[in-house]
Amino acid sequence: MLRSSIFIVLFVISFTFGKTTSQIPPEQIVPLPDFAEYQPEFSQMMQGMIKELGGREEENWGTGMEILYYESVDADVHVYTTSLSIDDVRAKYFDLFVEDLMAQGAPPEAVPQFKQFLEDEVIEEIESDPMVHVDPDMLEAYYREAGAETALQWLECYRKLHPELLKKRSRTFEIEMDERRFRRRDAGEPLTNFTIVEVEVQQPFINPVVCELVDGTAITYVIYKMVASVE
């Protein structure tokens, strides 16, 4: 039984993270939410905020004692909304990942181990927090110093909704997958560029386009293009 279980885990890894030298399309890293509606204006505003306030940075040890510094040079943001609860959205993401796995020819007995991998490594638990974390005046000072015009537009809506937000809590979870899981490093060389897909799911959410607090669920799907430099 143990031998069979180990085989299935290895099979799942080989199907899901089979190594390749070419870049992987983002939708193969994290599936797009085909059950939700794409919001172009909302997406444009969120993309503007990320561009103004900065993307992602990280560092990793390379070969030997060198440290690889990575930073995002581009962020492509897609916002989707749905009337489904955040619990239903989380369940649907498990289904989407499993559907992709099965489409690659994995056997049904691989599914439980793959779901456990998603639970442990990819899809976070849902958390609940107050919707108001920072005073609007503090945010305004920060955004003005950063020259973040799009963020200041969002802040106008935040101020308007602030009394209502003080009484609310939001439920959130994140999904993150790194293209480095998929790609082979030739002769041990580090990757100089790769993609990270980060998804944030929230219910309820602020729709800054119409300046409303919406009881549905928002899915913010961000594709970060990362590049590396050795220092």
| Predicted structure pTM score | 0.88
CB atoms within 10 A of CB 69: 15
- CB neighbours of 8 closer than 8 A, spacing ≥ 6? 107, 109, 110, 113
Please answer whether residues 129 and 170 qualify as being in contact, where contact means their C-beta atoms are separated by less than 8 angstroms: yes
Place of tokens 């602030």: 162
Please answer whether residues 209 and 18 qualify as being in contact, where contact means their C-beta atoms are separated by less than 8 angstroms: no
Per residue of the chain (231 residues), give pLDDT as tens: 344 444 445 455 555 555 565 678 899 899 999 999 999 999 999 999 998 888 788 777 665 566 778 888 889 999 999 999 999 999 999 999 999 888 888 888 889 989 999 999 999 999 999 998 888 999 999 999 988 999 999 999 999 999 999 999 999 999 999 888 777 655 456 678 889 999 999 999 999 999 999 999 999 999 999 888 755
Place of tokens 């955004």: 143
Closest alpha carbon to 76 in 96, 56, 94: 56
N-terminal to C-terminal alpha carbon distance within the chain: 48
Question: What three-state secondary structure class fits 165?
Answer: helix
